[in-house]
Structure 1
Amino acid sequence: MSLIIPRGRIVGLLATAAVLAALGACSSMQTSDSVLGLVTPYRIEVVQGNVVTREMAAAVKPGMSRNQVRDILGSPLLTDVFHADRWDYIFTIRRQGAEPQLRRVTAHFQGEQLSRLEAEQELPTEAAFVASIDTFKKKGDKPPALELTDAQLQALPAPKPQPGAQAETPPPARTYPPLEP
């Protein structure tokens, strides 16, 4: 005795199996950051607040007015109605290929004068901050020298005079008509 399965039923079973396989593949891909290990999805770079560097914090001195502090550090991210004598500078950045960063700096005022500036952690220098978010750098690459040394300048050949080139004479003076008729 042979078992006969109708053709429509076989197609239905195959379609169901294909759908289940596709759903299983989708759920396994959601746990990965890349599609097939080759393509990574775009992630939005999120930057919030004002970056405060070591140089900026060193420029702010106790006794400065609120406007002077604002000129150096920028407008604070948070000003609290209940703590009018406190400005909070919070900086966060999430950039693909770089470690997320979070920094908090608080400026305390007495009246209109700055009393102290507090940071939860040591602030980076401007160069260290730029290096920490630079995702285009290659490890071990040195920046190219932008100026020649004296020895390199002396090693350059002297410019050759151009044949047929003469000393340029200034163009003849131009005369313009008067502006009013």
Structure 2
Amino acid sequence: MPAKNSFSIRSAQSSALALFAGLLLSACAGTSTGSSAINPVNWITPYKIDVIQGNFVSSEQVALLKAGMTRPQVKEVLGTPLITSIFHADRWDYVFTFKRQGVQSQSYRYSVFFKGDRLESFSGDDMPSESEFITRLDNQRKLGKVPALQATPEQLKAAEAQRGAKPAVQAAPLAAPAGAQAATYPPLERPAQ
């Protein structure tokens, strides 16, 4: 009898293996049909990092722009433009994209136009403020408890009392040993002759 049981276990294992292989093959074959909900291969997705590209321009920076500014002044306010073209020397483009897994990608574009060396006009997307943009970056991950960054009046009083109880140790300036001469170094360049 023991020989018959080992044969039936092997038969069950091989049929289970064949069934599993058939499921895998059908999953691979189903990738081209567009049935991604049924396909177990699509259930597992790799981690995709956040991709931030370009120069972020905030609404506060745009508010500082005034017609008649020079190119260096505009560069100081908005930063170095992402796109400059020799064919359009009087136009600077600032492009910013932000892509995150599971969230619709964000894209902003702003252009400034010059006449000669002076800013003539500027236009583009409605830019978010810096605080609005930071709230969009928040990915809702809670990595740990963040301590309060401001001391309460009680904590300040306790710190003052502790500081008063222990006098701060003042280090005396280092003095050269007695009889030591000041160090002299040769010049870095040869004297001109």
TM-score, normalisation: structure 1 = 0.66
Q: For residues 19 and 83 of structure 1, do their structure 2 counterparts lie closer, same or farther at Cα, with a shift above 3 Å needed? A: same
1:63-88 CA-to-partner distances (Å, cap 9, x unmatched) read 11122212221222222444332221
User: What is the rounded CA distance, in whole Å, between the counterparts of 1:45 and 1:107 in structure 2?
Assistant: 28
Q: CA shift at 1:154, angstroms?
A: 3.9
Q: CA shift at 1:169, angstroms?
A: 7.9
Residue 193 of structure 2 is aligned to residue 177 of structure 1: no
Residue 136 of structure 2 is aligned to residue 132 of structure 1: yes
Gap regions ≥5 residues in structure 1:
1-9
Residue 119 of structure 2 is aligned to residue 114 of structure 1: yes
Q: Which amino acid aligns with 2:161?
A: A
Aligned-residue sequence identity (percent) comes to 37
Q: For residues 161 and 61 of structure 1, do their structure 2 counterparts lie closer, same or farther at Cα, with a shift above 3 Å needed? A: same
User: What is the rounded CA distance, in whole Å, between the counterparts of 2:113 and 2:80 in structure 1?
Assistant: 14
Q: For residues 177 and 125 of structure 1, do their structure 2 counterparts lie closer, same or farther at Cα, with a shift above 3 Å needed? A: same
What's 1:23 paired with?
Answer: 25
What's 1:5 paired with?
Answer: none
Say whether the 8 Å CA contact 1:98–1:133 is kept in structure 2: no
Gap regions ≥5 residues in structure 2:
1-10, 32-38, 186-193
What's 1:4 paired with?
Answer: none
Give RMSD over aligned pairs.
3.6
Residue 50 of structure 2 is aligned to residue 45 of structure 1: yes
User: What is the rounded CA distance, in whole Å, between the counterparts of 2:24 and 2:132 in structure 1?
Assistant: 47
Q: For residues 17 and 59 of structure 1, do their structure 2 counterparts lie closer, same or farther at Cα, with a shift above 3 Å needed? A: same
User: What is the rounded CA distance, in whole Å, between the counterparts of 1:166 and 1:22 in structure 2?
Assistant: 72
SS of residue paired to 1:64: coil
Q: CA shift at 1:171, angstroms?
A: 6.6
Q: CA shift at 1:132, angstroms?
A: 0.9
Q: Which amino acid aligns with 2:131?
A: A
SS of residue paired to 2:67: coil
